[in-house]
Structure 1
Amino acid sequence: MSAHENRSRRPQRIRGGFRDAARSSAYSASGLSEAVRRLEAQLGVRLLNRTTRSVVPTEAGRGLLERLGPALSEVEAALDVVNGYRDTPAGVLRINVPVSATRLVLPSIVPGFLAAYPDITLEIVSDDSFVDIIAAGCDAGIRYDERLEQDMIAVPIGPRVQRFVAAASPAYLDHHGRPQHPRDLLDHACMRGRFASGAMMGPWEFEQGEEIVRVDPTGPLIVQPGAAIELAIEAAIAGSGIIYIFDGWLKPHLDSGALEEVLEPWSQRFPGPFLYYSGRRLVPAPLRAFIDFVKAQAVRPAP
């Protein structure tokens, strides 16, 4: 049985509509639609509301999915145990990660992993909101320890120490002055962030010795965390104000001199991210391969 055939026989979740589901299965959109109609007829209740543009579960459909979802996931994981008897694991590995991890963590891992496991398809779902990875149909996620649930198993991934950096262009600092204390930022133009929910990102936090200072600056640009971060960085380079973000995002620009770090003695350090997955499920072979690869890379001596 080929890897594609093995994946196509697993239970499939309908995502968006029958055409989307058909693309990730061995069935046609019409075949899936007819199967759902037969199930609705057997149960005597409508499970999906259909329009020409979308397919949305009814209340009964949502209830059924909530009850069947964990069971189907367990069946899928149990079937995946067979993967352990293959020479190399095969299948799809779906990981939910924040945008920062796609930039700062995964580039040093993914190419080597794909080369080592050519029969595994890796799907990265980039999402800065905190989601239930099981409900979202993901095998694992990447987050920081303060956002991990108690029943999750966490494996260190990527840099083990990171820090937040405040920086601006030398031209901006020459014109507006260089802040000497975090509270000086209240007199500067600062790039801020707003979550997709509409809530502003929390205060900027700085630390020196035993003193922790939180400030809530204002400025001319507000961006949503994710892809728009690049816009905020470019605006800072152009002299629009001060940006506050992971050091990994800014390192090339700090090294080139396009940006200058400020308040370095106050820069807050924190533990790096973790790969996390459910401790209550069988670990699928593709995920086990990824975990082993990450662990092996962590103990490999730096070049």
Structure 2
Amino acid sequence: MRDRPEMSDVSAFLAVARAGGFREAARTSSSSSSALSDAVRRLEARLGVRLLNRTTRAVVPTEAGRGLMERVSPAFGEIDAALEHVMSFRGRAAGTLRLNVPASASRLVLPAIVPRFLAAYPDIRLEVDTDESLIDVIAAGYDAGIRYDERLAQDMIAVPIGPRVQRFAFGAAPAYLDKHGRPEHPRDLLSHNCIRSRFAGRSVMAWEFERDGEEVIVEPQGQLVVQAGDGSELGIAAAVAGSGIMALFEDWLQPHFDSGALEPVLQPWWLGFPGPFLYYPGRRLQPAPLRAFIDFIKAHAAER
């Protein structure tokens, strides 16, 4: 690979050529005339061609120097314009914020936050992708993600977002329970048709219960297994139709409890767990949209 010159040396050459001398260029830049002279000499040595003719009265570009100026000046102009555009973000929250979240957060956490956030920051464009897998969200091009404590990467900063305690709820259609009986203990589920979930590439999740210090884990059987997150609506529809007992976030099932389409099952045994976190890398300079979102959810949490 050809040994390329430093861009700072090219920039120094442009400054001197435009100013017509080293002292004149030094007055309009943060470099001294000697530093500019050294930079131009390095550039000429690297390229193997003289770029400036120096006399006691003036510094004039050679033919090669003029050709270099014509070719690189537009490019440096674009770079300067791009840097000015980026620096304009320092004083305002603008740009794109990309989040990777599970379906449960998209459905149960973000609706209470996103509309107010967008209203507060009209120059921010928010992109939200739902994903249940354990991906490296930063390597995948996201600014931050939302996950639960047991699935957080260890080298990330985590900030609470949404409700701090959630519960898994269990429900079935009243007609199903009238026909098959209402469980009184979690072990009674072993004789029921249960609609279960699993994350892609992982085993079917066991059901956990707790009451008065007694913890019970059961692995009931059933005809239907759905993918956690995206497949949850299918599981709910099957439960409403009388196919069995469904387990899901309490807030997700609550509208169906309120309507009577589903009846709570084993409610005293429902297990609570910590709510989700927004997580992101601990960079010193965070993108303005991410910084604004972090500040907003902290303020939102204080209001709650």
Same fold (TM over 0.5): yes
**Which ranges of structure 1 fall in alignment gaps of 5 or more residues?**
1-77
Output the CA distance in 2 between the equivalents of 1:80 and 1:157: 31
- Structure 2: which 5+ residue stretches go unaligned? 1-82
Q: Tell me, in whole angstroms, the C-alpha distance in 2 between the residues paired with 1:274 and 1:243.
A: 25
Q: Secondary structure of the residue that 1:223 maps to in structure 2?
A: strand
8 Å CA contact 2:190, 2:221 repeated in 1: yes
Counterpart CA distance in 2 for 1:83 and 1:212 is 55
| Superposed displacement of residue 189, structure 1 | 0.4
**Within 2, Cα distance between the matches of 1:136 and 1:172?**
44
Residue matched to 1:158: 162
**Once the 2 structures are TM-superposed, how far is the Cα of residue 116 of structure 1 from its aligned partner?**
1.2
**1:109 counterpart = 2:113:** yes
Corresponding residue to 1:270 among 270, 273, 279: 273
Question: Which digits, 9 at most, give the CA deviation of each residue in 1:206-225, with x for residues without a partner?
Answer: 11122211111111111112
SS in 1 for 2:194: coil
Tell me: CA distance 1:166–1:79, structure 2 relative to 1, closer, same or farther (3 Å): farther
CA displacement at 1:115 relative to structure 2: 1.2
Q: Which has the larger radius of gyration?
A: 2
Aligned to 1:229: 232
Q: Give the match for residue 87 of structure 2.
A: 82
Deviation (angstroms), 1:281: 5.1
Aligned to 2:206: 203
After superposition, what is the alpha-carbon deviation per residue over 1:22-67, rounded to whole angstroms, capped at 9, x for unaligned? xxxxxxxxxxxxxxxxxxxxxxxxxxxxxxxxxxxxxxxxxxxxxx
RMSD: 1.8
Find 1:144's aligned residue among 142, 148, 152: 148
Which residues in structure 2 correspond to 1:48-63 (within 5 Å)? none
The TM-score with structure 1 as length reference comes to 0.70
Q: Is the 8 A contact 2:90 2:288 kept in 1?
A: no
Partner of 1:29: none
Paired amino acid for 1:261: P
- How far apart are residue 278 of structure 1 and its match? 0.8
Residues 232-267 of structure 1: per-residue CA shift (max 9 Å, x gap): 101101111000111011010111111111111111
Secondary structure of the 1:191 match is: strand
| Matched letter for residue 85 of structure 1 | R
Query: Matches of 2:88 and 2:194 in 1, distance apart?
Result: 51
> Does the residue aligned with 2:104 lie in a helix, a strand or coil?
helix
Paired residue total? 222
Distance (Å, rounded) in 2 between the aligned partners of 1:276 and 1:79 = 30
Pairwise CA distance, 1:194: 3.1
Instruction: Say whether residues 1:240 and 2:240 are aligned partners.
Output: no
Distance 2:258 2:162 in 1: 21
Task: Find the aligned partners of 1:268 and 1:225 in 2 and give their Cα distance.
Answer: 18
CA distance in 2, matches of 1:244, 1:221: 12
